Every structure is written in structure tokens, then in C-alpha cells.
Amino acid sequence: MHAKARRLGMGALLVLGAGAAFWHFGAAPPEPTQHTKAIGSAAPAHTFFAQTGYGDSAAAGAPVHGFRTLAEYEAVSRYGRLPNSLTGLHVTWNIAADANGKLVVTRDLAALFEFFLSAHTEEGMEKSQGRIQEYLHGLLPEAAAGEALHIMRAYLAYKQGLQRFEPSSDAAAMGGAGRADQMATLGDIKAAMNQRAAARRQFLGSHVADIFFKEDETYDAYTLQLLEAQANPSLSAANKESMIAQAEQLLPPDQRARVQQERKEATLNQRIEALRAQGGNEEAIRSLRTELVGAQEAQRLATVDQEHAAWMQRLHAYRNAKDGVLRQSSLSAEAKALMIDELERTQFTAEELREVQILESIRAQNGQAGRAAQSG
């Protein structure tokens, strides 16, 4: 599983502490999305993968069906076709048994649970759980399937009690809060996270809870410590930097390298923007980049800047020509459309044109919003 890079900030805090990280039985589940993972979520909830299958090691045991696609599962399911929210999704789970027929617990088991449970508002909890039972019995030897279903029941019991371990809605509303309020809110969220972690182990046991949740709990602890450093008004810039560096040590090496690179890039961009605001020239910017990221990367970034500047020049030239066409009152709407189509065809490749069309759509929407604000 490869989670998308998480972008940090106070917005992440709301997901860490509030119900956005989970669905509850009384509320509509989030729309299923392919290969996504909520920031700070527990379990690999709503995480879908490339294709459906099962662990293919020699020790996997002998599943009854060994579904390779969801269509194969649907063909033998007593419940028939999957509900609309699950139709068209492609998934894979590494779920298998060892040579002795015992279940090998992986995070993908929770992903399978969440896949079917996410449709509970369409089919009802009884049918969603029935599909899980049916699928696991078609995927695993009998003993392993029984173990998996025992974990499912514990998992459901845990999920039913989640709301007890969330900060209040007032605590999560940090938009206009001062620093002191933010620190208090972070304390509430930390307490909720600790309670939730304890509940996971109470319901699932330490072994299963660690497999399902440890990766996300580690990232949550890092994010919380990072936000505490950012929100603490008593810390100097050097102390904040030291606290953030300590937080990064909580992460496994690959995640640590990624967030350190992201932080380095953010610092570099801030300093470059400050230089440009002060009238700094490209040579000063190149020197700063070389100092922070090395000569080779500085050269690459300079090339990116040049390419971006050239692209913006082409885009502005196109917009000026397009606006000139639109201002010609003697032309019919059809003639204007033909001239703009020709302009686009000669100025951009097919790939570039897709980007231009998106930018022009945003430009048009912003223009409409501006006119509406003026008229209001």
C-alpha cells in the first residue's frame, strides 16, 4: 500500500480528532474512492487497490474460490450484485493463511472489512457483514476464515464505540482560535487519540491492533507533536525547529525522509518568495538554492522556473488573442468559436490544451464570482 503524501497544517488536526476519520453506523459513509487514505485515519479505512486477489504464497492454504475479480465473487454470491457505491471499483487484498491453515493478519483485512461495510447504508449492516463472511469463506481455509470473522466482530464492536473518543465539536473548531485555545484543543485531541488507541487494544488485542493501526498511530503522534510546536507561542524559532526534528524521529525512515524533504522545500520556497519580494535577482535565488539543496537541484529548479515563465508567457499571449476575438462585435458567436479553436490548435499540443481548458474554466468561474460580488 502506498499512501499519498500527506500535507500538514491545522486542517489535518480536524481529521485527527474528529469523526471525519471514521464513519459511524448512524451516518452515511464517505463515497468510496480508489487508492485513498484519510489523513490521520485509524485502520486502512476506505483504502482500495489495483485488482482483486488473495495471498499467492505456497503457504496460503486452499481457498474455496480464490476470487481474482469482484465479478467472480458476484457470480457466486447469494447476495447478488454489489451495491452501486462499490460497482466499478478494483481492489486487491493480501489476505492468506499459513502452512498450518492459520490466518496471517495484515492491514488488508481491515481494508476488506471497510470495503464491504462502506455500503451499509445501501444494503444494511446485516448484508454487509454477510458479504464479508461469504467472501472470507470463499478466500480462506475454514479455520483461517473463522479467525478473520472473530476479528471482524471485535472490529465492529470497536467502531461502534468510536464516538466516545472524539474531542467535542467546540474543541475541533479552531478556525479563529488564539494560540492558547489551539494548545488546549491539541490537548483534547491528544487525550482522545490515547483513549482510542487503548480501545483498539481492548477490543482487538495488541497484536491485531498494532498491525491494523500502528503505522497511522505513529504518523498521528508525529503530526500532533508538529502542530504543538507550531502552535506554542512560548517557543523560539530554534526551539520549534528542534521540537519538529524530534517529532520526525518518530517516523519510519522512508516517511521521515519524505517529510524532511517536504519541510526543506517549504523553507526554501518561503525564503525565495521573501527574496523576490525584496527585489532579489535570479542569481541570488540560485545561490540560496545551491546552499540549501545543492548545485544539481538548484540547476533543475532554475530550469523549472524558466519553463514555467515561458509557459505563462504563451498562456498570456493566447488569452490576449482570445480576448481580442471575443471583443469583435462584427463576428458571430460561431465565427468566434471557430477562431478560438484554431488559435488553440496552433498554439498548444493536445496535452497542453487540456491544461489550458482547465485554467480557462477556473478563470471564467473567478470572473463570474467577481462580477457577482460587485453587483451584490
pLDDT in tens, 296-328: 888 888 888 888 889 999 999 999 999 999 999
Alpha-carbon radius of gyration of the chain: 27
d(CA 108, CA 49): 10
What pLDDT score does 111 carry? 92
Tell me how crowded residue 167 is: count the other CB atoms within 10 A of its CB: 22
Average pLDDT over residues 333-356: 89
Residue 55 reports pLDDT greater than 70:
no
What pLDDT score does 374 carry? 64
- Between 317 and 15, name the one with better pLDDT: 317
Tell me how crowded residue 5 is: count the other CB atoms within 10 A of its CB: 11
Cell of 312: 505563462
Give the DSSP letter of residue 32.
Answer: P
Question: Which of the residue ranges 130-134, 246-250, 282-286, 349-353 has the most confident prediction, judged by mean pLDDT?
Answer: 130-134
Q: What are phi and psi for residue 236, nearest 5 degrees?
A: -75, 170
Is 149:136 a contact under the CB 8 Å cutoff? yes
Q: Where are the domains of the chain?
A: 1-248, 296-375
Please tell me the least confidently modeled range out of 178-192, 215-229, 305-319.
178-192
Q: What is the pLDDT of residues 355-375, one digit of tens each?
A: 888 888 888 877 766 666 666
What pLDDT score does 264 carry? 79
What pLDDT score does 371 carry? 64
Please tell me the least confidently modeled range out of 68-72, 322-326, 340-344.
68-72
pTM listed for this prediction: 0.57
Specify the 3-state DSSP secondary structure of 97: strand
Closest CA to 92 of 107, 75, 77: 107
Q: Which amino acid is at 232?
A: N
The DSSP-derived string for 255-290 is HHHHHHHHHHHHHHHHHHHHHHHTT--HHHHHHHHH
Kindly list the distances between the CA atom of residue 124 and the CA atoms of 127, 128, 148, in Å, as whole numbers in the listed order. 6, 6, 21
What pLDDT score does 22 carry? 33
